[in-house]
Structure 1
């Protein structure tokens, strides 16, 4: 198998999996609807590089301001956050539906319709020194050089790696890496509705209270909302909530303002209940990201709450980072690289990317608790200290540097946009891609 071309099998057809497929060259996928996302300027830049910027703008709208409020509607701050991010980095921040991102990426994949394989689900993984074999639900077996798991925090790829590493008594673990088990202390409703109250467009409203919070974005005719509540007790796995439980959840927040002069109870009937979702907010940092030929990325490796909107952005940039670390492997003169070469590349990827993500994970963890006033300290920080420091100081200190360090495909030149704050990574000279190396993406159906 050493003479075979380098072939990647991607498990999971979410945004990270499809971005991997688009960046690597092709895919076989199927997908379902999900929640809405917030794409920051460095991620819009990634979409621009692969020709999807104009499509993303058509499916979204520009955010300009962020308004922080208490449950009574008292405005704590009104900050032109999104306008200033675009002014400083050149690209806007776009709120967009998950299914729109999936559709954009899928349609951009070369020969996507010809390669699509519906109903595919990975059931098992086997790896040898020569390659990998993934058995699908229909009994077929796909072979390749590498498996990349983008199938989520509870996906089978992560479980495979955990089981394999628990049996491995010879390979040393990097004890300097951050690790925390995946658990849920909060749960949320994601919903989309009609803007019958004519709430102003382009504003991101964030309302806080003890144990609960609401984030609302308004377009001219649409509303997108995320509601947060603290769980009665910590949970370790996914929970299938009912429509009745979702209604009970929402009713507990009816008294909270979602915009000045408008409460959740007034607009909840305007939301589409058949597409709304009640889900747990998973938080966790995986200990093992890879074996010899199997590696995980996106929220399979690091899962944060959605409160700061950076989850999808981190997932796409992690996927890109993984591609960059494995470019030397895909261009190996032997065709199919050795397991040792791949293991070294995966270890470097985890070592560097984990350190980049640790700060983002910690920030999201703290933000969730500060927004829901989880303790007197969190209440004081959110209610007073943040207001005294000022939103712009926090954005300049933490968010602007993060955006400037966004990943980019070194081998895809394009006419990028920039602002006064320059990008730290820029495209290089195109390289010759292996035309025989098409990734296979397997959807993990729920």
Structure 2
């Protein structure tokens, strides 16, 4: 592993995919998960669009993922009363036009697949780590957790979901954007 250290906040699909990419690149990381255990079956189904399926392919997990995903060919749009508004073979066409299929998973199946490919998950995934603060300085980043532990690294990946604690802290330490006058010129031609 390199001397570079990444702290990943969140052990869902995004955090685990990030961890796998870092592992493949030889970069040290620690995953901080707020739940008391890594609950593989928490959450609803997860849809991966072709660009995400391509990442699974690059990580060497596409064949295993194909064995787990729930294949779909057609999409049905319903009205509020349950009547059919339209049918579409959009899902099937996505795979044809984008090189990788649209994949639907039970969240637990996807998380289990990703977690199973991490070589030292027992030491790299820390549970019951509710983040209470994030600080950034010249020597890197520091994450404090509710249990009193502090973790240091060079970079943070916030993968803690839609109600991200990380986003809140990062917004607090990000300098306000400055704006000033600028000019824009567009060039073009036609015949």
What range describes the TM-score normalised by the shorter chain of this pair? 0.7 to 0.9
Aligned to 1:24: 22
| Paired residue secondary structure (1:159) | helix
| Paired residue secondary structure (2:172) | helix
Aligned to 1:82: 91
Aligned to 2:155: 146
Aligned to 1:125: 134
Note closer, same or farther for the CA distance 1:12–1:80 as it changes in structure 2 (3 Å cut): same
Note closer, same or farther for the CA distance 1:137–1:48 as it changes in structure 2 (3 Å cut): same
Residues 400-439 of structure 1: CA distance to partner in whole angstroms, max 9, x if unpaired? xxxxxxxxxxxxxxxxxxxxxxxxxxxxxxxxxxxxxxxx
Q: Distance in 2 between matches of 1:173 and 1:109?
A: 41
Note closer, same or farther for the CA distance 1:70–1:50 as it changes in structure 2 (3 Å cut): same
Match of 2:118 among 87, 109, 112: 109
Aligned to 1:265: none
Aligned to 1:342: none
| Paired residue secondary structure (1:123) | strand
Aligned to 1:55: 64
Aligned to 2:143: 134
* Root-mean-square deviation (Å): 2.6
| Contact 1:27–1:112 (8 Å) recurs in 2 | no
Q: Post-superposition shift, 1:36? A: 1.0
Q: Post-superposition shift, 1:45? A: 1.5
**Residues 121-130 or 15-24, more deviating:** 121-130
Q: Post-superposition shift, 1:10? A: 1.4
Aligned to 2:183: none
Report matched runs for 1:180-259 at 5 Å: none
Aligned to 1:229: none
Note closer, same or farther for the CA distance 1:71–1:132 as it changes in structure 2 (3 Å cut): closer
| Contact 1:85–1:92 (8 Å) recurs in 2 | yes
Q: Structure 2, unaligned stretches of length 5 or more?
A: 24-28, 181-191
Note closer, same or farther for the CA distance 1:79–1:157 as it changes in structure 2 (3 Å cut): closer
Report matched runs for 1:291-306 at 5 Å: none
More helix by share: 1
Report matched runs for 1:318-357 at 5 Å: none
Residues 125-170 of structure 1: CA distance to partner in whole angstroms, max 9, x if unpaired? 22221122212232222111122222234332222223234xx5xx
Q: Structure 1, unaligned stretches of length 5 or more?
A: 176-446
TM-score by length of 1: 0.34
Aligned to 1:5: 3
Residues 43-76 of structure 1: CA distance to partner in whole angstroms, max 9, x if unpaired? 1111111122122222222111123344556544
Q: Distance in 2 between matches of 1:75 and 1:102?
A: 33
Q: Distance in 2 between matches of 1:132 and 1:73?
A: 50
Note closer, same or farther for the CA distance 1:134–1:81 as it changes in structure 2 (3 Å cut): same
Note closer, same or farther for the CA distance 1:63–1:128 as it changes in structure 2 (3 Å cut): same
Q: Distance in 2 between matches of 1:20 and 1:106?
A: 11
> Is 2:44 the partner of 1:35?
yes
Note closer, same or farther for the CA distance 1:23–1:70 as it changes in structure 2 (3 Å cut): same
| Paired residue secondary structure (2:105) | strand
Aligned length: 168
Aligned to 2:184: none
Note closer, same or farther for the CA distance 1:85–1:174 as it changes in structure 2 (3 Å cut): farther
> Is 2:22 the partner of 1:15?
no
Note closer, same or farther for the CA distance 1:64–1:146 as it changes in structure 2 (3 Å cut): same
| Paired residue secondary structure (1:138) | coil
